[in-house]
Structure 1
Amino acid sequence: MSEFELVWDAKCGVAESPVWDAPNDRLLFCDIPGQRIYVLGLSSGSRDIWDFPEVVGSFGLCRSGRLVVALKHHVVLFDPRTRESRDLTPKVAEPDTSRFNDGKVGPDGAFWVGTIDGNAPRQPTASLYRVTADGAITREETGIANSNGLAWTPDGRTMFHADTAAGIIEAWDFDPATGARSHHRVLAKLTNDQGRPDGAATDMDGNYWSAGPSAGVLHCFSPSGTLLRRLDFPVPGPTMPCFAGDRLFATSLREGKSDAVLAEFPSLGGLFAAPAPARGAPVDVFAD
């Protein structure tokens, strides 16, 4: 039986990108189509919501205390104190049917963020980008349909990524000083029934924890791609795990679910938590 319990019944269309902000003792996550970031005080239980003018694909913490936030086609810096944003990058050359999706700050201090193709079926026209504090944005990978699953081992030497549409989890050797990558390899390939890889996190052993929304599970893979554990999730559609101290949080999606599924699982789109099965890797911050 799953140990996950509902923490915030937010009923997000697509809850995603949970981030542990340890210095401020809070857990942040976004609703992509809802155009907002949710803020949960872990000790106090306080709740807040920050609204944005566009879809919020993902975000990360900044050294300055701001957030680096991926909107539809560009990245902004958001100040939680004033709730004001300023553009960091120009708009990327992406079709209107695409948008930014999963993103995470790497050990190189840059914000890595991918796009997702909005066609049905998804086409391999999306990309993976690297954003630095000076506003420079470079296209690092192409030929992706749904960029997802960004995470790094705690030593910063391995970078993970997934293409949900293709069902693959891949990795590179990573230079945390420069962001350079080498030695690409595919670690796993998953079907719909197994749970194609969505958002992810890593633990202190370098294991890769991947949400499998199509099967309602979380997978734990070794750094070399061996499946170590499979955890059942209490509702269909877990989207991303996040370690936060002694708890493992995970977001979920509501969008696209039938009335029958919503009637059976009314808490879809919420934030869930369970006792952490491992210690999470450190959360990197954007070097602004």
Structure 2
Amino acid sequence: MTTDLVFTRLGETSCELAESPVWDAVNGALLWVDIPQGVIHQRHLATGAQQSWRLGDVIGSIGLARSGRLVVARQHEVGFFDRHTGAYEKLASVGPADAGLRLNDGKVGPDGAFWVGSMDLSGQSRPVGTLYRVQADGTVEAKCAGLITSNGLAWSADGETLFHSDSRGCWIDRWNFDASSGAISARTRIATPGMGDGRPDGGATDAAGTYWSAGVSAGCLNRYARDGRVLARLALPVAAPTMPCFGGEDLRTLFVTSLRKGPQDGPLEGAILTARVECPGVPVAVFADYVASAM
């Protein structure tokens, strides 16, 4: 296993299930969520100042919006959160209001829409999840069904390729992506990692076209080529990493979220890890909402 990155802890926050790290370049801050606690965290890298907002229920994922607000996936809906006022506004219901489902991994795509998938909560690995595309006018479009735990959304630098995984189906797919319409096509299965390889959790892409996948069952990050070849497997000082993202002024700071399973866990479980990398990441897209910029 390759171990050529040196990881350190970012701050002192320890989460039950840290996920959805997003780099906010405008404010020089990293955002992430603690899913079961329903908390959004924000840390400014230059000063170390940190803020947290508790929304009151599960938060699956977040993204940046053109207005300066955050787009937020909650149990069965997507809405906006204003970091200045603390106000939340529902945009759309997404998927069935089924207690056995919730929204999970989500990101803003090159098309300006929020892509978010649902996951089965029954523990029986039912393929009842769906990947959705949510637009700023509240339109919701189902894009891919038959998922157990939708995860791993990330786009290539040119916006023409979408990567998507299923953490329980244990596969990673590549799609052709049309940023002008949000259409996906030519679905190709590029990898089927096992438990020992690392079940594919959250993902991110770099400028070289490499797909970085959190191996949540194996304490590692897997770097995949476009065709699914494993280019590197990076050992981490946590047992269950959940998602990587790139940030910092040069997009060469790698952040990795993680989860905490119980009191027997080590001191880094549930922490945010950071390391410097050679190849910069792909800048995140922003949600094309209709409110004038507030930040």
TM-score tier by shorter-chain length is over 0.9
Within the candidate set 125, 130, 134, 2:128 is matched to 125
Give the whole-Å Cα distance in 2 for the aligned partners of 1:11 and 1:211.
18
Q: Which residue of 1 aligns with 2:230?
A: 227
Q: TM-score, normalised on structure 2?
A: 0.93
Q: Which secondary structure does the structure 1 equivalent of 2:237 belong to? A: coil
Aligned pair count reads 283
Give the whole-Å Cα distance in 2 for the aligned partners of 1:51 and 1:17.
15
1:246 and 2:249 correspond = no
- Report Cα offsets for 1:231-270 as digits up to 9, x if no partner: 001010000001112310000001xx2543x1xx122111
Within the candidate set 205, 210, 214, 2:208 is matched to 205
Q: Which residue of 1 aligns with 2:139?
A: 136
1:41–1:47 Cα contact (<8 Å) kept: yes
- Report Cα offsets for 1:76-97 as digits up to 9, x if no partner: 1111111101110025314202
Q: Which secondary structure does the structure 1 equivalent of 2:110 belong to? A: coil
Q: CA deviation at 1:121?
A: 2.8
Give the whole-Å Cα distance in 1 for the aligned partners of 2:276 and 2:46.
15
- Residues 15-164 of structure 1: matches in 2 within 5 Å? 15-164=18-167
Q: CA deviation at 1:226?
A: 1.2
Q: Which residue identity is paired with 1:247?
A: T
Q: Which residue of 2 aligns with 1:286?
A: 287
Percent identical pairs in the alignment equals: 46
Give the whole-Å Cα distance in 1 for the aligned partners of 2:147 and 2:94.
19
Q: Which residue identity is paired with 1:79?
A: D
Give the whole-Å Cα distance in 1 for the aligned partners of 2:125 and 2:166.
11
Give the whole-Å Cα distance in 2 for the aligned partners of 1:91 and 1:129.
8
Q: Which secondary structure does the structure 2 equivalent of 1:72 belong to? A: coil
* Closer/same/farther in 2, CA of residues 91 and 242 from structure 1, 3 Å limit: closer
Q: Which residue identity is paired with 2:104?
A: N
Q: Which residue of 2 aligns with 1:270?
A: 271
**Structure 2 stretches of 5 or more lacking a match?**
290-295
1:160–1:169 Cα contact (<8 Å) kept: yes
Q: CA deviation at 1:50?
A: 1.2
Q: Which residue of 1 aligns with 2:292?
A: none
- Residues 175-190 of structure 1: matches in 2 within 5 Å? 175-190=178-193
